[in-house]
């Protein structure tokens, strides 16, 4: 008899339930013991991976550092930054001072109504003067002042050297301060440390506007350049203080910058085409021109208003889109870029309708009295919209809306490109199921395969 062929034993490849391969096993060899569980590290020894407590502690430390930096920036601007207002722009209006009505003499037909007021601050504190009663912003209708009311008094020096005093409005700063405190408390209660940083970022933005923007406008700087530059600064500071310096923040900042550039360029082009007058139908701008002369670019104020009017909404949609991309990738790191982009755009489009409505109704609220007035005076809808003072608001609304709408896809594309470059060191796949999604093959299926 010839030699019989000896059967060759093929090693059996085993697959564990998690989808990974175990070492090959022969029939005559017992299965390898499973890897022993790693004993927990002794207290005080590094574990190789940060625990939840240490990660939270580091995050809290970063939040405290950002909060401190924000407070230091606010204090530095208030204390160290010199007054940038040009000397020629100071003293253009009358002096304002906090006072209280202590006596209301009977009014007569021959003389304007007056009041005896006591000054409550400044070098005139404790002095009493007779002041003429006037309505707020020059209105003819007088408020119902009573003795004890705290008011704002105006001190004007006349060309002949005499000084006159007027009661021009009520004192409302304590009420405004209380509302601001309520806003801060509610924000912190809802958002925690992030709310604290948001309040600090808001304070820094207001300080920059008051101490930098307005003085430089009075000095004759280009309003559009100032608006874009300050808008970019406020965006960077706000995002870094509230969100930290992450890829999501970088995406939101880049998207906002693109939206600002689009809004500014479109505003400049449309303003030239619309051929608005320097006053743009606004009594306030006309008064600025009379007081400041030719030092301020009145037409540029419209452009700056368009940029600042849409800045807050630009920040909103930009950070929303960038955060949505990050969350989608965190849920499934194997999603392709196109899938993440499409799903994020679905969220952004749903958000756009409410966002644009917010901007439209904000401007509608400003122009509503004028719309009612022109509707009474002029028949038809087109002619009131053609009036310059209304057309300016329409232009602001439409330009701001265009910038907001285009910011959504731009920010989404930037965020997808940045956040899906790598996922745990492995490039994101396109159109392929991950190992987790694929069913694990059993030991029998693998051993029986050719």
Do 286 and 355 belong to one domain? yes
Please tell me the predicted confidence (pLDDT) of residue 136: 74
Please tell me the predicted confidence (pLDDT) of residue 55: 62
Rounded distance, CA 21 to CA 17, Å?
A: 9
Rounded distance, CA 154 to CA 95, Å?
A: 6
Asked if 31 and 25 touch (Cβ cutoff 8 Å), the reply is yes
In-domain check, residue 409: yes
Do 398 and 332 belong to one domain? yes
In-domain check, residue 381: yes
- 3-state SS, residue 432: coil
In-domain check, residue 144: yes
Rounded distance, CA 260 to CA 254, Å?
A: 10
Among 171, 205, 239, residue at a domain's last position = 171
Do 388 and 249 belong to one domain? yes
In-domain check, residue 284: yes
Least confident of 90-99, 149-158, 189-198, 225-234: 90-99
Q: Could you read off the pLDDT of 88-97 as tens digits, one per residue?
A: 665 556 788 9
Please tell me the predicted confidence (pLDDT) of residue 4: 55
The mean pLDDT value of the chain amounts to 76
In-domain check, residue 45: no
Q: Quick one: what percent of the chain has pLDDT higher than 70?
A: 69
Sequential DSSP letters for 114-136:
EEEEEE-SSTTTT-EEEEEE--G
Rounded distance, CA 188 to CA 282, Å?
A: 38
Q: 332 is in which domain, residue-wise?
A: 220-419
Give burial (CB, 10 Å; 0-12/13-18/19+) of 219.
middle
Least confident of 16-20, 112-116, 249-253, 440-444: 440-444
Do 101 and 246 belong to one domain? no
Sequential DSSP letters for 404-421:
HHHHHHHHHHHHHHHHTS
| Sign (positive or negative) of CA dihedral 318, 324, 330, 334 | negative
Give burial (CB, 10 Å; 0-12/13-18/19+) of 430.
exposed
Question: Above 60 in pLDDT, residue 377?
Answer: yes
Please tell me the predicted confidence (pLDDT) of residue 390: 78
Question: Above 70 in pLDDT, residue 433?
Answer: no
Question: Above 80 in pLDDT, residue 260?
Answer: yes
Per-residue pLDDT averaged across 334-349, rounded?
89
Rounded distance, CA 260 to CA 314, Å?
A: 8
List, in sequence order, every residue forming a beta bridge with 163; answer none if it has no partner: 157
Nearest to 322 by CA among 252, 396, 419, 400: 252
Residue 149 is part of a domain; what is its CATH number?
A: 2.40.50.140
Do 354 and 277 belong to one domain? yes
> Could you give the C-alpha distances from 339 to 197, 223, 348, in angstroms and in order?
34, 41, 14
Per-residue pLDDT averaged across 327-355, rounded?
86
In-domain check, residue 56: no
Please tell me the predicted confidence (pLDDT) of residue 343: 92
Do 228 and 164 belong to one domain? no
Q: How many CA atoms lie within 13 A of 70 on its CB side?
A: 30
pTM of the model: 0.67
Residue 353 is part of a domain; what is its CATH number?
A: 1.20.1640
> CA-based Rg of the chain, rounded to a whole angstrom?
34
Question: Above 60 in pLDDT, residue 347?
Answer: yes
Asked if 202 and 194 touch (Cβ cutoff 8 Å), the reply is no
Vertex 209, ends 207 and 214: CA angle to 5°? 125
Please tell me the predicted confidence (pLDDT) of residue 210: 86
In-domain check, residue 261: yes
Do 306 and 243 belong to one domain? yes
Phi/psi of residue 114, each to 5°? -130, 170
Question: Above 70 in pLDDT, residue 61?
Answer: no
Do 332 and 395 belong to one domain? yes
Do 253 and 364 belong to one domain? yes
Please tell me the predicted confidence (pLDDT) of residue 381: 59
Do 279 and 154 belong to one domain? no
Tally of domains in the chain: 2
Among 171, 200, 232, residue at a domain's last position = 171
Rounded distance, CA 70 to CA 67, Å?
A: 5
Vertex 131, ends 125 and 137: CA angle to 5°? 105
Question: Above 80 in pLDDT, residue 410?
Answer: yes
> Could you give the C-alpha distances from 319 to 40, 99, 305, 412, in angstroms and in order?
40, 45, 22, 10
Do 145 and 260 belong to one domain? no
Nearest to 443 by CA among 9, 8, 10, 16: 16
Least confident of 73-77, 312-316, 379-383: 379-383
- 3-state SS, residue 4: coil
Please tell me the predicted confidence (pLDDT) of residue 242: 80
Do 166 and 231 belong to one domain? no
In-domain check, residue 103: yes
Pairing of strands 128-133, 163-170: parallel
């Amino acid at each position: 008899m010839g030699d019989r062929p000896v059967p060759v034993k093929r090693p059996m490849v085993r697959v564990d339930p998690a989808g990974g391969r175990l070492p090959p096993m022969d029939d005559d060899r017992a299965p390898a013991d499973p890897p022993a569980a790693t004993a927990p590290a002794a207290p005080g020894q590094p574990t190789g991976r940060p625990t939840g407590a240490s990660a939270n502690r580091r995050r809290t430390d970063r939040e405290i550092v950002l909060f401190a930096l924000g407070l230091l920036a606010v204090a530095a601007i208030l204390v160290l930054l010199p007054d940038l207002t040009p000397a020629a722009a100071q003293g253009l209006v009358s002096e304002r001072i906090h006072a209280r009505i202590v006596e209301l003499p009977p009014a007569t037909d021959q003389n304007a109504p007056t009041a005896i007021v006591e000054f409550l601050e400044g070098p005139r504190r404790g002095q009493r003067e007779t002041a003429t009663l006037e309505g707020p912003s020059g209105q003819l209708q007088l408020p119902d002042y009573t003795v004890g009311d705290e008011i704002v008094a105006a001190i004007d020096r006349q060309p002949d050297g005499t000084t006159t005093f007027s009661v021009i409005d009520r004192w409302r700063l304590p009420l405004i301060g209380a509302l601001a405190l309520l806003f801060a408390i509610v924000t912190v209660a809802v958002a925690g440390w992030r709310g604290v940083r948001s309040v600090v970022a808001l304070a820094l933005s207001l300080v920059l506007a008051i101490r930098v923007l307005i003085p430089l406008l009075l000095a004759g700087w280009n309003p559009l350049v100032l608006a874009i530059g300050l808008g970019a600064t406020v965006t960077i500071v706000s995002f870094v203080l509230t969100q930290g310096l992450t890829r999501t923040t970088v995406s939101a900042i880049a998207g906002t910058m693109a939206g600002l550039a689009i809004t500014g360029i479109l505003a400049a082009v449309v303003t030239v085409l619309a051929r608005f007058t320097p006053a743009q139908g606004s009594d306030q701008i006309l008064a600025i021109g009379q007081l400041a002369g030719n030092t301020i670019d009145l037409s540029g104020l419209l452009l700056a208003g368009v940029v600042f009017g849409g800045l807050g909404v630009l920040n909103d949609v930009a950070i929303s889109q960038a955060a949505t991309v990050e969350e989608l990738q965190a849920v499934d790191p194997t999603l392709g870029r196109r899938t993440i982009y499409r799903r994020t755009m679905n969220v952004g489009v749903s958000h756009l309708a409410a966002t644009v409505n917010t901007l439209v109704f904000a401007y509608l609220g400003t122009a509503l009295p004028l719309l009612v007035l022109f509707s009474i005076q002029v028949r038809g809808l087109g002619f009131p919209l053609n009036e310059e003072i209304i057309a300016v608001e329409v232009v602001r609304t439409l330009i701001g809306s265009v910038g907001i709408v285009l910011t959504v896809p731009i920010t989404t594309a930037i965020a997808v490109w940045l956040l899906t470059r790598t996922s745990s060191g492995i490039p994101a796949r396109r159109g392929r199921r991950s190992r987790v999604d694929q069913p694990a093959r059993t030991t029998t299926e693998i051993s029986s395969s050719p």
